[in-house]
Amino acid sequence: MSALLATDGLTKTFGGIVAVDGLDIAVDESELVGLIGPNGSGKTTTLNLVTGFHAPTGGAVLFDGDDVTGMKPYQVSKRGIGRTFQISKPFGRMTVFENMLVPNVPYGPKEREERIWKLLEELHLDHVAEHRADALSGGQKKLLELARVLMLEPKLVLLDEPAAGVNPALMDEIIADIKQINERGTAILVIEHDMSVISELCERVIVMNAGRQVTTGTFEEIRNDERVREAYLGGA
Ligand SMILES: Nc1ncnc2c1ncn2[C@@H]1O[C@H](COP(=O)(O)OP(=O)(O)OP(=O)(O)O)[C@@H](O)[C@H]1O
Ligand SMILES: [Mg+2]
């Protein structure tokens, strides 16, 4: 079976910086995969390339049997890839409910409203539905972003540091929510620096360094890998 998402020699340079350097990674259908690596190793840039926020300098992105390289973000999202941002950016002056109305969903108003309430309940945001988004805590903003992405029923969701800046109580909730979304069949690729979150969540982990995949395996497999230690210690 071919992978749901695959990058083939994906490359991105910014001036003299090679942010992503001939990257080959894959995510299978319904998989929950972690993407880790030191600061500046190219994780966020990889997400930006896959979702069309940046055009690659070279290589290809294949999704669900199609070449989606160089497509615009709205085209990629229409095909079934959702993403959240390292710094979540809901529309602050709009309410939580209004934020949920933003995605251009392919179904009618009644179904839209039902789905909004279902997602707000699932992600513990129903009690703040009428609050302005900029009044939410950091963790709630992340949950709102995730809820909004799920309006489009994506096949794959890319999460950029969903646990960063989230208080410990909400953290457990976010982890449980991500697991539940995945159990319903949505593939997830999650960038995260918190190793307890990665070990708790991920069936498989991809380790990046300097724009490349260093290795991939279960958390147990990669945690004792010398190449992974070297990546985090700057190759010393
Ligand atoms: N828009 C941009 N313009 C110029 N350089 C960029 C841009 N985006 C990323 N870079 C550079 O590309 C490299 C990879 O950055 P990226 O944000 O992908 O790393 P990251 O692995 O997500 O790091 P972190 O864990 O700190 O979020 C870095 O050297 C960064 O400075
Ligand atoms: Mg990043």
- Residues 189-210: pLDDT tens digits? 999 999 999 999 999 999 999 9
Give the residue carrying structure tokens 């259908």: 29
- Tell me the pLDDT of the chain averaged across its residues: 94
Q: What is the CATH number assigned to the segment(s) 5-87+154-232?
A: 3.40.50.300
* pLDDT level of residue 236 (50, 70, 90 thresholds): very low
How many angstroms is it from 161 CA to the middle of ligand 2?
A: 8
- Using DSSP's 3-state secondary structure scheme, residue 215 falls into strand
Distance of alpha carbon 205 from its chain centroid, rounded?
A: 14
Average pLDDT over residues 42-48: 98
Residues lying with their CB under 5 A of ligand 2, a single-atom ion: 43-44
Asked whether the predicted pLDDT for residue 235 surpasses 60, the reply is no
Listed by start position, the domains of the chain span 5-87+154-232
* CB of residue 90 inside a 6 A radius of ligand 1: no
Asked whether the predicted pLDDT for residue 1 surpasses 90, the reply is no
Question: What's residue 125's pLDDT?
Answer: 96
Annotate 186-210 with b (16+ C-beta within 10 A) or e (fewer). Answer: bbbbbbbebeebbebbbebbbbbbb
Task: Specify the DSSP element, H or E, that contains 212.
Answer: strand 212-217
Least Cα distance to 114 among 146, 223, 89, 105 occurs for 105
Report the percent of the chain where pLDDT is more than 90: 86
* CB of residue 16 inside a 6 A radius of ligand 1: no
Strand partners, 208: 213
Residues 6 or more apart whose CB falls under 8 angstroms from that of 203 comprise: 31, 32, 33, 218
The edge-to-edge listing of strands for the beta sheet with 156-160 is 81-83, 156-160, 187-191, 32-36, 204-209, 212-217
Q: Minimum-distance ligand to the CA of 85?
A: 2
Asked whether the predicted pLDDT for residue 161 surpasses 80, the reply is yes
* CB of residue 39 inside a 6 A radius of ligand 1: yes
Report the percent of the chain where pLDDT is more than 70: 98
pTM: 0.94
* pLDDT level of residue 149 (50, 70, 90 thresholds): very high
* pLDDT level of residue 234 (50, 70, 90 thresholds): low
What digits encode the pLDDT tens for the residues 85-129?
Answer: 888 889 999 999 999 999 989 899 999 999 999 999 999 999 999
